[in-house]
Amino acid sequence: MRNRYDVIIIGGGPAGMAAAIAAHENGAQDIIILERRFELGGILHQCIHSGFGLHRFGEELTGPEYAHRFMEMIKKYHIEAACDTSVLKILPGNRILIISPYSGIKIISGKAVVMATGCRERNRGGLGISGTRPAGIFTAGTAQQFINQYGHLPGKEVVILGSGDIGLIMARRLMLEGALVKGVIEVKSFSSGLKRNVVQCLNDFNIPLLLNHSVIEIHGRKRVTGVTVVRMDDTGNPIADSIYDIPCDTLVLSVGLLPDHKLPLNTGIKIDHHTGGPIVNQWMETSTPGIFACGDGVYVHDLVDDVTAEGEMAGRHAALFAKDPWVFEHSMAAITPGEGVQFCIPQIMSSNSDESFRIFLRLEEKFSSGQLVVNQDGKKIFTFSKGNAFPGEMISIRLPKEKLLPPKDTASLLTISMIERGENK
Amino acid sequence: MYDIVVIGGGIMGTAIARELGRYDLSVCLLEKEVDIGGGTSRFSSGIVYSGCEFRPKSIKAQLCVSGNRLYESFCQELDVSYEQKGVLLLAYSEQQETKLNDYVRWGMENGVEVEWINGERVRRMEPKLKEIPQKALFAPGAGVVAAYQLPIALGENALANGVDIKRNVEVLDITHEKDFSLVTSEGIVEAQYVINAAGTDAVKISRLAGINGMVEDYRYVQYLLLDRLSDPSKILTILGDTPQEILRLFPTVDGYMMVGLWETLDNRWEKFGTETTQTILNRLTEVSNKMMDHITPDKVLSAFGGGYIAAPNEDFLIRSSLNIPAFIEVAGIDDAGLTAVPTVGKYVVHLLQTAGLEIKQKKYYKSQRQNIKKSFIDINEKMAEGEAVITTAEQLLDMAQGKQEEISEAVDGVTSSTFGGGPSDLWERMQMIKSQPSYGRIICQCEQVTENEVIQAIHRPLGARSVDGIRKRTRAGMGKCQGGFCTSHLIRILARELGLPLSDVIKNEAESVMLISENKQSIIAGEDAEHEKPV
C-alpha cells in the first residue's frame, strides 16, 4: 500500500468496483479500493438468486456472477484492492484513516475520494413493535446471509414483515430450504417490491401476502413463539377486532434499507434528510470538493445495474478531479422534491455543464395517471406525463437544458412534483 | 461445605460476592442462567441516584447516599465507565412541587447537595427543553454508569479473589438444620450462611427455605433506547400522578439517550415478564418529542422493559431472616439498587457478623479489575447531525448559493485525539495490532469493536457464552444498527472459539438458539429423513 493515490474508493461492492474501473478508464493512475469484508463484491455474494444484469449485460446473472465480471476487470487493470480493511475516519485534505490486521492503523491520502459505502437494514428499533426480545428476529439480509453463506436455516416457521424485494426473495428462499413461510405482511395497500418478485417469489409458492396488515407484538421468551398482527383501515389505523396471533418461530424484518451515512456525517458532508445519504451534484460530487459518493450509500436503488452506472459516473469524475481539481463559486440549481415525490437525485446542479440533466426520483405513493411538474423558482417550466407509477420503481427524467430559464447570478430552486392528472383539470 | 452461598448473580449478588472476597471465607455464587447479570439487572437504567430521593434513615438512603459518594473510585477500581451528570427534577405542577419539597428536606437530612433553581437556570442547563418549568430541583451528584457491565466486572473481580462462581445452576430446594443444604440442578451444595439475592425469584427462594412474609409489590419499567444525541445533558425527571410513576429522559454513559417510565403493574406482571407494551412505547415516543423537538420517532434504536419487586415503604428489604438468622434476604431492590452497589456488600457482611459469622481480612486481596482493552475507540466523537442534515428546500438552496465547503477541522498530523479515547499512544496501538492482528479487524462498525476484543470476551475468566454475553462485555451490537452488521460475525466467532456447531449458539438464556439447523434438515423428520438426506 502506498501513502498517496489519485483516487481512493471506500467500499468494494458493485458501486465501488464500477467507480474503480471507470476511474482507471478515465486516466487515473493509482487507485485503491478499501473493503471491510474479506473479498470484493459486497452484498452480491449472498444474493444467489438470478435477475442481475438484465440492463447492463442483457442477460440474467446471479449476484456472485455479476460481481465476478467486475472482479475480473479489476484484476485485469491491476487495481489495488485492500480487503479486511475498515475506514475509521476521513480527515481534512482527503486523508483516510484506515485500520486492518495487516497494515495496522495508517493514513493514506487521495487527490479524489469516492464513498461507496452501501446501505444498512432498518431494524426493529424504529418500528415500535412491542412484546419480548427473544432469539429468532432477523433482518432479511442477515437471514439471507445465514442461509446462503453459512448454510444454516434461521427458522422453520417464518413470518416476514415487509414486502420489499429482499423480503420477497427471502420468502422463496426459505420455502426452497424447507421452511414454511406463513405470510408476508405489508402495512401499505401494495407491495413495495418489484412486480416480478411478487409473482415469482410469493404467488408461485402460495405464500399469502397480507396487505394493510402490521405486526404489533412479538411473543416468546427464549425463542419467538408467535406474532400478533392487525389489519389496518384505509387511513392506516388498526381495526380493533381484526387482531389475531400467528404462531411462528421466526420473524424476518424486511422494512427498508437506509444509506449508511455514518462516515459522511462524521466527515461533515451534508446529508439530505429525504434520502438519508449525502447531497450530490450531477457528477456525484458531495458538498466537500473532491469527495464523491455513489450507490446505495447515496440512496437505495432498485437495481444493481443502476448502481453500476452511478458508480461509473462517480469514478469518471473522481479521475477528472484528480487530474484537474475544481471548486465552484456557486451552483446553478438546487433540486428539491415537491408534492407526491419522496426524493430527487441529484440535489444540486453545478454550473459549467453542457449536458442535459438526468434526474432520478422516487414517488411517495401510487399514481394511476400521474403528471410530473417541474417548477423553477415557482414557475412551471416543464411537464411530463407518467401513466401508471408507484414508489417501488424509480423514475428517471431527462430535463432538456433549453427548457430551463436563462442562467442568473444566484442558484435557482427546481421543485419536482407528481400530481394525478384527474386533479389537474 | 461453603461458609456462604450467594443465590443470584445479578448486580446485588455479584456486589455482595465481591465484598465477601475480601475475607478468608469460602464463598460460592449460584446463577441459574447461562450468564450473570441476565435477570432483573438487564432492566437497570444505569442511573446512580443523588440520594435526595430516599426517605432519611431508611436502608435505601443509607446505602445509596454513601454508595453515590464512592461511585467514581469504585468504578475506577473495576474499570467500568461512570460519569457524573446531575439530575434535574422538573416541577410543572403544584403536586410535583410538594413532592419535590420532600426531596429538598430529605436531601438536607441525608447530607446530599440539592437546590431549587429557577426557570432561567433550567433553560441555561437544558437549552433544548421546550416547556421550561417555573422551577426545578437540581442535584449535581447523580451520575450514569455502564450498568450492563457492572455484574460482569464484579463477578470477574470476585472470581479473582477466590469466590466460586457457578453459572447454569438453579436452586430447587433448601433445607436447614444446623447448616443449609441446597438441592440444585447440579447436585447438593452445603453452606453455613445463605444470601438470597435472587431478584424476582427472591420470594420463591425464601419460601424454599420455609420463610414467608415477603411482600409482593410488582413494578414495571419500560425504556426506549435513542440514538446518540447531545441533549439533554442532565438526567431529566418528571414525577407522575402516583408516587410510583416516574418518567426520566437521560443520557447514557456511552453517549446514547434513554427515556424510561417506571410504574406499578399490579397483577398483570406475571404476563409481562420482559415485554414492552404498545401504549407505553407510544407514550414514551410522544413525551420525549414533547420535551425536545429533536427527539423524533426515527431516533429510537430499541425498546425494552421488565418487572421487579419493590418492598414496602419504598425501602430495600435487606435483613437477617427472623426464624433463621443465617439466611439473609436481599430483596425489594428497585432501580436504586445500582446506587447501593458499592456499599451493599459491607452492610450484608455486618448482618452476617451479627448472625455469628467471624471474618478475617485476606492477606492478598486484588481490588483492581481490568476491562477488555480496546485497540481503537471513537465513542467520544459526536455526530454533527444538527449541522450536517439538510431538511428544507431553503437550506438546500442556501447551500447551492454558497461556495462548497471544505472540511474546516484543522488537524496537523495525527494526534491522539484523532483516535478518541483508549490507549493514548499511536505507537502502542500499532504494537497491539502487530502482535495480535485481530486487533485490526473491526467486527462491530457502530461501536468499533475488534475481533480480538470479542475473542477475549469469550476466553477471559467467566467468559461470554452467548451473543448477549459478548454484547455486554464489548458493546458489539449495542450501537446504532443494533447488531445488524455484527450478529452474524458474533455467531461465527462464538461457534469457532467454543467448538460448537453454529446451530448451538444462543442469544442469552439456555435454548434461545439463533439458528435452527443446517439447511434442508429441520423439516425432514422421522422416517422420510433417511432417504431424503443428501448423500
ipTM for the assembly: 0.91
Min distance B348 CA to chain A CA atoms (Å): 33
Residue of chain A whose Cα is closest to the Cα of B306: A132
pLDDT score for B266 = 61
* Domain contains B90: no
Interface test with B, best of A124, A146, A343 (most B CBs within 10 A): A146
CB of B523 less than 8 A from some CB of A: yes
Same domain for B151 and B49: yes
pLDDT score for A38 = 93
Among A310, A406, A43, smallest CA distance to B488 is for A43
The model's confidence at residue A386, banded by pLDDT at 50, 70 and 90, is confident
The model's confidence at residue A353, banded by pLDDT at 50, 70 and 90, is low
Residues A75-94 have a mean pLDDT of: 92
CATH number at residue B430: 1.10.10.1100
Does the pLDDT at position B528 exceed 60?
no
Whole-number average pLDDT of chain B: 88
The model's confidence at residue B15, banded by pLDDT at 50, 70 and 90, is very high
Please report residues of B whose CB lies closer than 8 A to that of A179: 522-523
Q: Decide if A153 and B522 are in contact by the 8 Å CB cutoff.
A: yes
CB of B297 less than 8 A from some CB of A: yes
CATH number at residue B151: 3.50.50.60
CA distance A392 to A32: 34
pLDDT score for B64 = 97
Q: Give the number of other CB atoms < 10 A from CB of residue B377.
A: 18
The fraction of chain A above a pLDDT of 70, given in percent, is: 98
Does the pLDDT at position B530 exceed 80?
no
Q: What is the CATH number of domain A335-424?
A: 2.60.40
| The CATH number of domain A123-255, selected from 3.50.50.60, 3.30.565.10, 3.40.50.2300, 3.40.50.620 | 3.50.50.60
Same domain for B7 and B46: yes
The model's confidence at residue B447, banded by pLDDT at 50, 70 and 90, is confident
Same domain for B335 and B446: no
Does the pLDDT at position B108 exceed 90?
yes
Same domain for B488 and B340: no
CB of B383 less than 8 A from some CB of A: yes
Please report residues of A whose CB lies closer than 8 A to that of B404: 287-289, 327-328, 331
Among B417, B131, B182, B407, smallest CA distance to B288 is for B131
CA A205 to chain centre: 27
CA distance A337 to A133: 38
pLDDT score for B490 = 97
pLDDT score for B529 = 43
Same domain for B394 and B470: yes
Residue of chain A whose Cα is closest to the Cα of B227: A125
Which of B298, B388, B430 is nearest residue A270 as measured by Cβ atoms?
B388
pLDDT score for A385 = 85
Q: Crossing angle, helix A140-148 and helix B487-498, to 10 degrees?
A: 40
pLDDT score for A134 = 94
Same domain for B437 and B349: no
Interface test with A, best of B304, B482, B502, B516 (most A CBs within 10 A): B516
The dihedral built from the CA positions of residue A299, A303, A306 and A310, taken in this order, carries a sign that is positive
CA distance B45 to B306: 11
Does the pLDDT at position B380 exceed 90?
no
Same domain for B429 and B354: no
Same domain for B443 and B324: no
Task: Decide which of B265 and A225 is more confident.
Answer: A225
Does the pLDDT at position B421 exceed 90?
no
CA distance A410 to A413: 10
Tell me how many domains chain B contains. Answer: 2
Min distance B212 CA to chain A CA atoms (Å): 29
Q: What are phi and psi of A44, to 5 degrees?
A: -55, -30
Does the pLDDT at position B459 exceed 80?
yes
Q: Which residue has cell 407518467?
A: A386
Domain of B197, in residue numbers: 1-83+144-214+312-371
pLDDT score for A423 = 54
- Please state the CATH superfamily assignment of the domain spanning residues A4-120+258-327 in this structure: FAD/NAD(P)-binding domain (3.50.50.60)
Same fold, A4-120+258-327 and A123-255: yes
Strands A370-376 and A379-386: antiparallel
CA distance B63 to A387: 72
Min distance A270 CA to chain B CA atoms (Å): 5
Min distance B296 CA to chain A CA atoms (Å): 10
Which of B297, B388, B438 is nearest residue A101 as measured by Cβ atoms?
B438
pLDDT score for A234 = 82
Please report residues of A whose CB lies closer than 8 A to that of B384: 265-266, 268
pLDDT score for A318 = 97
* Domain contains B138: no
pLDDT score for A192 = 81
Please report residues of B whose CB lies closer than 8 A to that of A103: 440
Same domain for B456 and B489: yes
Among B31, B94, B6, B58, smallest CA distance to B334 is for B58
Same domain for B451 and B326: no
Q: Decide if A273 and B390 are in contact by the 8 Å CB cutoff.
A: yes
Same domain for B457 and B430: yes
Among A167, A168, A156, A162, smallest CA distance to A223 is for A156
Spans of all domains in chain A:
4-120+258-327, 123-255, 335-424
Min distance A166 CA to chain B CA atoms (Å): 15
* Domain contains B93: no
CA distance A236 to A255: 16
* Domain contains B485: yes
The model's confidence at residue B151, banded by pLDDT at 50, 70 and 90, is very high
pLDDT score for B425 = 59
Interface test with A, best of B286, B391, B397 (most A CBs within 10 A): B397
pLDDT score for B493 = 97
Residues B125-131 have a mean pLDDT of: 94
Q: Give the number of other CB atoms < 10 A from CB of residue A309.
A: 17
The model's confidence at residue A7, banded by pLDDT at 50, 70 and 90, is very high
pLDDT score for B270 = 55
Min distance A413 CA to chain B CA atoms (Å): 6
